[in-house]
C-alpha cells in the first residue's frame, strides 16, 4: 500500500499536468489545442495505419547508426589522446575549438558537402556524439591517478591489460556521462535534420503536420521523441551499471 502511494505521489506532477491539459483542451475546443485524449486517439490511429512506425523507423535507424559510430569513434580518439601525449597535443586543441559549435551549425555546410540524402542526418548525429564523447573520455582518463598505471607497469602488466583493467574501468563514469548526455541530443539533431532536409522520419511527419495545421500529430511526434530520448538514456544507464559491475 505504501509503495503504491509513493508511486502515485512521485508521478503526481505528470498526472496534474495531463489533467490540466485535458481540461484546457475541452474548454478551448480548437484544433490548435487538442485534449490529451484526442492526442492519444491520434497516436492510436497513426500507429494502426503504420505511418508512425514507418517514420519512427527511419529516424531510429539514423540515430542508431550515427550515435553508435560517433560514440565509438569518440571513445577511441579519447583513449588515444589520453594515453599518448603526442596525439593529445595534436588533437585536443582542434576538438576543444569544434566542441562548442552547435550540431545544427554544421547543417548548411553538410548540405553543401554531402547533399540532401540519407547520409546527412547520420553525419550530423555522428558529429553530435563524437566531440562530447571524445572529450569526456579524455577527461576521464586524465583523472586516473598516474600511480595506478605506473604500479601496473612496474609489475609487468601489458598495455592491453592496463587499458582493459585500469584505464577503461576508472574512466567509465566520465565516458558514460558523455554518452548519456548525447543520447537525448541525437534525437533533437535527427528531428531538426528531418524537418529541414529529409522527407521521411519523425521530423518530416511534424513539418507536414504543421502545414496541415494538425497539432495533434505534432504533439504525438513530440511525445514519441520524448519517450525515445528517455529510453535511450535509460539504456545507456543500464549498460553503464552492467559494465561497471563486470569490471568490479
Output the pLDDT for position 216: 92
* pLDDT surpassing 60 at residue 248: no
* Whole-number Å distance between alpha carbons of 223 and 218: 9
Averaged pLDDT of the chain: 88
Cα distances (Å, whole numbers) of residue 85 to 70, 82, 137: 23, 7, 15
Mean pLDDT over 31-46 rounds to 91
Quick check: 217 pLDDT over 90? yes
Is it the case that residue 82 has pLDDT exceeding 70?
Answer: yes
Would you state the pLDDT for residue 58?
94
What sign does the dihedral 147-175-234-61 (CA atoms) show? negative
Say if residue 18 is exposed, middle or buried (CB neighbours under 10 Å; 0-12, 13-18, 19+). Answer: middle
pLDDT at 176: 92
**What local confidence, expressed as pLDDT, does residue 4 receive?**
65
- Residues 43-76: tens digit of each pLDDT: 999 999 999 999 999 999 999 999 999 999 999 9
Q: Which residues, at least 6 apart from 140, have a Cβ–Cβ distance to it below 8 Å?
A: 78, 82, 170, 171, 172, 173, 174, 175
Helices then strands, each counted (H, E), the chain: 12, 0
pLDDT confidence tier of residue 145, bands split at 50, 70 and 90: confident
Question: pLDDT exceeding 90 applies to what percent of the chain?
Answer: 51
pLDDT at 149 over 90: no
User: Rounded CA gap, 184 and 71, in Å?
Assistant: 13
Handedness of CA 132, 134, 138, 140 (dihedral sign): positive
Closest to 67 in 3D by CA, of 138, 137, 163, 132? 132
The pLDDT score that the predictor gives to residue 2 is 58
Q: Does residue 11 have a pLDDT over 80? A: no
The residue with greater pLDDT, 12 or 120, is: 120
How far is it, in rounded angstroms, from Cα 194 to Cα 199?
7
Residue 144 DSSP label: S
- pLDDT at residue 238 greater than cutoff 80: yes
Name which residue leads in pLDDT, 197 or 163.
163
Q: Report the pLDDT averaged over residues 187-206.
A: 89
Give the Å distances, CA to CA, from 107 to 102, 196, 207.
10, 9, 17
102 dihedral zone (left: phi>0; alpha: psi -120 to 50; beta)? beta
Give the confidence band of 150 by pLDDT, cuts at 50, 70, 90. confident
Q: CB of 91 within 8 A of CB of 81?
A: yes
pLDDT tens by residue, 160-190 = 888 888 888 889 889 999 999 888 899 999 9
Amino acid at each position: 500500500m505504501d509503495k503504491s502511494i509513493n508511486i502515485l505521489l512521485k508521478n503526481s506532477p505528470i498526472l496534474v499536468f495531463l489533467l490540466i491539459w485535458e481540461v484546457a483542451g475541452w474548454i478551448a475546443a480548437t484544433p490548435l489545442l487538442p485534449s490529451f485524449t484526442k492526442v492519444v486517439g491520434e497516436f492510436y490511429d497513426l500507429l494502426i495505419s503504420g505511418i508512425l512506425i514507418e517514420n519512427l523507423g527511419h529516424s531510429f535507424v539514423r540515430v542508431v547508426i550515427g550515435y553508435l559510430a560517433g560514440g565509438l569513434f569518440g571513445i577511441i580518439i579519447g583513449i588515444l589522446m589520453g594515453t599518448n601525449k603526442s596525439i593529445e597535443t595534436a588533437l585536443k586543441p582542434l576538438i576543444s575549438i569544434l566542441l562548442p559549435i552547435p550540431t545544427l551549425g554544421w547543417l548548411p555546410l553538410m548540405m553543401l558537402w554531402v547533399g540532401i540524402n540519407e547520409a546527412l542526418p547520420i553525419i550530423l548525429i555522428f558529429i553530435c556524439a563524437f566531440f562530447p564523447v571524445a572529450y569526456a573520455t579524455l577527461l576521464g582518463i586524465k583523472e586516473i591517478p598516474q600511480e595506478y598505471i605506473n604500479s601496473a607497469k612496474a609489475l609487468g602488466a601489458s598495455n592491453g591489460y592496463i587499458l582493459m583493467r585500469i584505464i577503461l574501468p576508472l574512466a567509465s563514469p566520465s565516458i558514460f556521462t558523455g554518452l548519456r548526455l548525447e543520447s537525448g541530443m541525437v534525437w533533437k539533431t535527427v528531428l531538426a535534420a528531418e524537418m529541414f532536409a529529409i522527407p521521411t522520419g519523425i521530423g518530416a511527419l511534424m513539418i507536414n503536420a504543421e502545414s496541415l495545421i494538425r497539432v495533434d500529430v505534432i504533439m504525438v511526434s513530440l511525445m514519441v521523441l520524448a519517450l525515445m530520448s528517455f529510453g535511450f538514456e535509460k539504456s545507456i544507464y543500464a549498460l553503464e551499471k552492467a559494465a561497471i559491475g563486470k569490471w568490479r
